[in-house]
Structure formats: structure tokens, C-alpha cells
Amino acid sequence: MLKKIFISAVLILAVLSFVVSLLKGNNNAEKTVTVPDRVAVINISGTIISGADSKDNIFSQTNGVTSGSIMKQIREAAADDSVKALVLRIDSGGGSATAAEEVGRELKRFKEKTKKPIVATIGNTGASAAYWIAVCASDKVYANATTLTGSIGVYMPYMNTEELFKKIGITSNKIKSGPYKDIMSSDRPMTPEEQAILQNIVNEIYEQFVTTVAVGRKMEESKVKSLADGRVYTGLQAKNLGLVDEIGDYYDALAAAGELGKIKPGATDCRR
């Protein structure tokens, strides 16, 4: 009799232990975390240069931003399903045309791949290469009334130090493989032929800039060229000329991006 009672008790304990283990297993199951829809924000501040992310190379630190770092953030935003819109927060006087072209190409890929909206917002300054980036693929461009923007144009700096070198007794000589190998050398005047070569390069890049603005702003190239003499415009002037869409700040642009991305109010602002 005692033996039967003992066996029954053991069986009951075994069943209870099995049930408890099942309950614990359910409690330890992985929990699914739902990430809310959000707007990705990419900050573009300072001089824009071409190259890899400066954080990856201690020998190429910059006070501005590289095209590599911006493109990386654009691709991360494109790969994130929770990101429903992209905001470019710009405060830059410009930089490299090549860097602007690289970033612009990546922004167009973002639009083609994701079909998601892009909104640009310009702070103190969004000129030259920064304006190129702002308008190349954006659905809306915001600026403050006092923002300085535009500066649609291209220039190539050149300095002639020949007379200075003569005064301090420095003579520069070189052996070159062709007549234009030392073009833009600062120790001699530029020849008319060299100036013509460089002017053609500047003109070609300028035409690309004009085309980018014309397509991005849905304007005739002739109208863009009438505005593209290198000058800057205030945000208010730019709006009246069709170079930006709205007068507003970062939060206005963020709200517009949320609306275009069909995000519910209170969605997360994702700073990248």
C-alpha cells in the first residue's frame, strides 16, 4: 500500500515538474519588438568633400562632412523598413561638385528603390554644392526667410606666386611629360590655352549643376541660368524665385516629411 502511494506521489511530482517547465519555456520565449514608423534625419553640416567617412581614417579628419558618410546613412535609411521618409538637415556653404554628384546619385537611388519622400531643410546656409544636394531629389525644400542659399555656379581657384618667389630668391624648375602636365602651377602665369582648357571644364560642371536644378525644381534651364550667376539669395527671395518651396524651420520640414510618409503624429525622429 505504501509502495503504491509512493509511486503515485512520484508520478504526480513528475507531471507537475513537466507542466512547470512548459510554463517557464513559454515565459522565456523571445518577445517581438515592433519599431514604430519614423523619419530618418541626415545632418549635412560644414564643407562637403568627396571621400570615405572621416571617422574611419584618423588622417583625414574634417570639420565638414564627406560624401562617403552621407551615402552610408542614405543606404542605411533605405534598408530600414521602419523609415518612411528622409529629411536632409543642411547647414553648409558648399564644397566639392563631385561630392554633391555622388550624394545626389545616392539620393535618386533611394527614391527609385523605396519610393519614399525626401524633404530638405536649410538652416543658416545651403549654397553651391549644398544647394545641389538639397534640390536634386527632394519632394520639398524648406528654408528660413534669412537663410542664404543658391550660389548656383562653379569656380576653380588659382594663385600665381611667381613675383613673391622672385622676391625671396626661389626659382622653380620642372621636367614634364607634356605641355599641360603642370597646368595651374602657381609659380608661373597661366597660358591662354590652359585657361581655355580649364574654362571648358568649369562650363561642363556648371551645365550639370544647372540641369540638376532644372530637373529638381521642375524649371526651364533658361530660367535656371538667369538665376545661376553665382549669387546667393535669401530664403524669402529663393521662395519667390521658385528655388525653394516653403519658408519654415527644421520642425516644419520634419512634420512635412511625416505627412508625406503617412506617419502617425508622434512618430520617432530617427537621427542618423
Q: Establish whether 3 is a catalytic residue.
A: no
Instruction: Give the C-alpha separation, 138 to 238, whole Å.
Output: 16
- How far is CA 58 from its chain centroid? 22
% of the chain at pLDDT higher than 90: 71
State which amino acid sits at residue 210.
V
Which is the catalytic residue, given 69, 92, 96, 128?
Answer: 128
Residue 56 has a pLDDT of 52
Q: Establish whether 60 is a catalytic residue.
A: no
Pick the closest to residue 227 from 135, 108, 146 (CA basis): 135
> What length does the chain have?
272
**Mean per-residue pLDDT, 46-62:** 71
Which is the catalytic residue, given 55, 166, 176, 181?
Answer: 181
**Mean per-residue pLDDT, 137-157:** 97
Q: Which 3 state secondary structure label does DSSP give 53? A: coil
Phi, psi of 123 (to 5 degrees): -85, -120
| C-alpha dist (Å) from residue 245 to 54, 84, 240, 258 | 33, 21, 9, 17
173: pLDDT strictly greater than 50: yes
Contacts by residues 189-198 (CB-CB < 8 Å, ≥ 24 positions apart): 189/160, 189/162, 190/158, 190/160, 198/156, 198/158
Instruction: Give the C-alpha separation, 98 to 44, whole Å.
Output: 15
6: pLDDT strictly greater than 60: no
25: pLDDT strictly greater than 70: no
2: pLDDT strictly greater than 60: no
The reported pTM is 0.82
**Contact (CB, 8 A) for 90 and 122:** yes
What average pLDDT does the chain have? 87
- Give residue-wise pLDDT tens across range 65-121: 999 999 999 999 999 999 999 999 999 999 999 999 999 999 999 999 999 999 999
How many other CB atoms are found less than 10 A from the CB of residue 208?
16
